[in-house]
Structure 1
Amino acid sequence: MTDLEYQDRAEALLRAVELACDRINEDSDADIDNQRVGGMITLTFRNRSQIVINLQKPLHEVWLAARAGGFHYKHDGTNWQDTKGSGEFFENLSRYASEQAGQPLRFSS
């Protein structure tokens, strides 16, 4: 993947996360505060726990830090997949955010 392809796909991922937060906040009482600074989004939940999503441009990866741990994702041509085989980014984000929010939340591309 070229740097430009990575940047386009990574920016689309960040936009999808932001839009999902807006939708979740409209459709539920989850009240997720999402702050974006450059290539990083911080999701803050009511209990003050956070999930941080950060672009790693030199590696062409997206990193996600949650209470469950830290995870690295690479685009496989279709989806962002965990580099250690632990699944797809949006499925994992949905699971970790649901755990931290204490209610089912759904993120998608």
Structure 2
Amino acid sequence: MTETEFNQLTDETFRRIESALENADGDVDFELAAGNVLEIDCGAGGKIIVNRQIAMYEMWVAAKSGGFHYQWQDGAWRNSRDGSELFTSLARMVAEQGGGTVTFD
């Protein structure tokens, strides 16, 4: 994957996350800063940070439950430790931090 392809893929990923958050049924707000850091505010439950790491070709997530690295494998962002999928994991993290239910299409 080239850097251009990675940036296009992560831009699409950010758009998908933003779309799901806009339709969430809980207390969640978000802001994309500098085009590469998405800050998800789950109210009293704290924040979740999603960002792209261009040098590593990874998406990184920081949440109360820990820090996670996701690599593009077989058409999905997969956790480098346990293989879990980014959108499934992110929905769980938002719920755990009190941000309500987020559904990804």
TM-score by length of 2: 0.91
Change (3 A) 1:85 1:47: same
Between Structure 1 and Structure 2, the one with more helix by share is 1
How many residues end up aligned between the 2 structures?
A: 104
User: How many Å separate the matches in 2 of 1:106 and 1:75?
Assistant: 22
1:33 aligns with 2:19: no
How far the C-alpha of 1:19 sits from its partner, in A, is: 0.8
Distance in 1 between the 2:49 and 2:99 partners? 18
Match of 1:4 in 2: 4
Q: Which runs of 5+ in 2 are unaligned?
A: none
Q: Identity of counterpart residues, as a percentage?
A: 27
State whether residues 75 and 81 of structure 1, in contact with CA within 8 Å, keep that contact through their aligned partners in structure 2: yes
CA distance in 1, matches of 2:96, 2:68: 16
Kept in 1, the 8 Å contact 2:60–2:67? The answer is yes
Counterpart CA distance in 1 for 2:99 and 2:31 is 20
Question: Could you tell me which residue of structure 2 aligns to residue 51 of structure 1?
Answer: 48
Paired position in structure 2 for 1:71: 68
Q: TM-score, normalised by structure 1?
A: 0.88
SS in 1 for 2:55: helix
1:33 and 1:65, CA in 2 relative to 1: closer, same or farther beyond 3 A?
same
One-letter amino acid of the counterpart of residue 19, structure 1: S
Distance 2:27 2:33 in 1: 19
Structure 1, gaps ≥5 residues long: none
**Hey, what does 1:22 align to over in structure 2?**
22
Alignment of 1:97 with 2:94, yes or no, is yes
Name the SS of the counterpart of 1:54 in structure 2. Answer: strand
Larger relative contact order (Cα-Cα within 8 Å, sequence gap ≥ 6): 2
